[in-house]
Amino acid sequence: MNTFNRFFDSDRRAWIRQATALTFGSVLVARASGQDIGEEGVATAASESLAETLSDAASDTRLVYDAPQIQNWKIGLVLETPVTCSNVLATFVVPMDWPEQTVTLLNQNIDRNVTGWKTRDLPGGARQVVLQMARVTAGSTVEITFELAVSRSRILPPDKTDDLLIPSRPSRELRNSMGNSPNIDTSNARIKMAARDLEKVEVENDWERVEKIYDFVRENVEYVEGPIRNASDALKDGKGDCEDMTSLFVAMCRNSGIPARMVWIPDHCYPEFYLETPPSDGQPSTGIWFPCQAAGTRQFGRMDEYRPVLQKGDRFKVPESSTQLRYVSEYFKCDRKGKGNPRPKFIRELIDV
């Protein structure tokens, strides 16, 4: 008996590029319940839904969510194995609710070999399905898949921006969007110097301060496809793709005390930055995450995008990895009896309806 243990992140960009946009014109609101893994690993009923909303600690009162459209997705795992597997553990990400997005579970297909499953929310903005299988005999095919309707809205910019403020003391929840992350080397000397130089430029308000960073990245980095690199490499070479440009924007914002994070959608990523409204009439300030398009058409404080949000964040910690993850990949582990390898296939497909 030996162990098969793998993160399926060797070609993470291929995952992001699997889909093209397909839109629908109605909003679904029905919910369905999931299952939790009990103490003995047996599937038990639970009230938790795959589409349960994760609080984003922001009311987003100034943003407008416009003209929602729907994409239907099939997401999950199909395992074919020429050898007997035991103690199977697998994880995969499913979309979750955000202010601009609502996820509805339409259908689920859970093989009887799946002895337990649950959802797990990761700090920073990702939701995983975690599943167990006690034993899968050689020659078997096992499937656990979910059909999801993802309603995504365009984000229109706020009318009033001149009073928005960089947080003077970021909360504990925002600390995950500050400092270094994998491939976002915020503490790099070249990035710190560029951020300091921009801080010397006079602006009328903090919104314009962030916009200066945005314009700097777009003016100083030419869009060129390439391998995953650090943000500092894009600044040094003056070229990079959407990941590099997003990483650089995030790193420079963080150097200026502005919380920022990456947003992952099919075939693309873009950044979000965080500002606060001023306190008024005894009411505390409200934090808002604003999107922008680092690469491609200029969109600052808005997002004309219907592809579903897969994850938000760039510094994830999962029990299956000893290091922080920039992007949460699928994971599969089992004990196998024999020389062959199990063939797990993780499914992410748009469904034609």
Range of the domain at 199: 160-291
The answer as to whether 303 is a domain residue is no
Closest CA to 101 of 306, 299, 350, 266: 306
The answer to whether residues 206 and 241 belong to one domain is yes
Give the lowest-confidence range in 34-48, 88-102, 247-261.
34-48
Rounded distance, CA 324 to CA 273, Å? 21
Over range 128-147, report the average pLDDT: 97
The answer to whether residues 32 and 174 belong to one domain is no
The answer to whether residues 116 and 204 belong to one domain is no
CATH of the domain at 263: 3.10.620.30
How much of the chain, in percent, has pLDDT values that exceed 70? 84
The answer to whether residues 264 and 327 belong to one domain is no
Residue 115 has which token pair?
Answer: 């002895």
What letter would DSSP give residue 184?
B
Q: Which amino acid is at 20?
A: T
Provide DSSP, 271-310.
EEEEEEPPPBTTBPP-EEEEEB-SSSS--BS-B---SPP-
Over range 34-61, report the average pLDDT: 38
- E strands, the chain, are 2-8, 35-37, 43-45, 64-81, 84-94, 101-110, 116-122, 126-136, 140-156, 222-223, 239-240, 260-265, 268-276, 287-291, 311-312, 330-337, 343-350
State the total domains in the chain.
2
The answer to whether residues 250 and 217 belong to one domain is yes
Residue 197 has what pLDDT? 98
The answer to whether residues 285 and 256 belong to one domain is yes
The answer as to whether 300 is a domain residue is no
Over range 203-229, report the average pLDDT: 97
The answer as to whether 296 is a domain residue is no
For residue 311, what are the contacts with CB-CB under 8 A and spacing of at least 6? 93, 125, 126, 263, 264, 327, 328
Q: What is the pLDDT of residues 257-302, one digit of tens each?
A: 999 999 999 889 999 999 999 988 888 889 999 999 999 999 999 9
Mean pLDDT (the chain, rounded): 86
| Residue 245 in this model has a pLDDT that exceeds 60 | yes
The answer as to whether 103 is a domain residue is yes
The answer to whether residues 12 and 140 belong to one domain is yes
Model's pTM, two decimal places? 0.84
| Residue 68 in this model has a pLDDT that exceeds 90 | yes
| Residue 19 in this model has a pLDDT that exceeds 50 | no
Contact of 46 with 129, CB cutoff 8 Å: no
Give the lowest-confidence range in 30-39, 128-137, 146-155.
30-39
| Residue 347 in this model has a pLDDT that exceeds 90 | yes
The answer to whether residues 22 and 116 belong to one domain is yes
The answer as to whether 195 is a domain residue is yes
| Residue 154 in this model has a pLDDT that exceeds 80 | yes
Residue 135 has what pLDDT? 97
The answer to whether residues 112 and 206 belong to one domain is no
| Residue 172 in this model has a pLDDT that exceeds 50 | yes
The answer to whether residues 244 and 319 belong to one domain is no
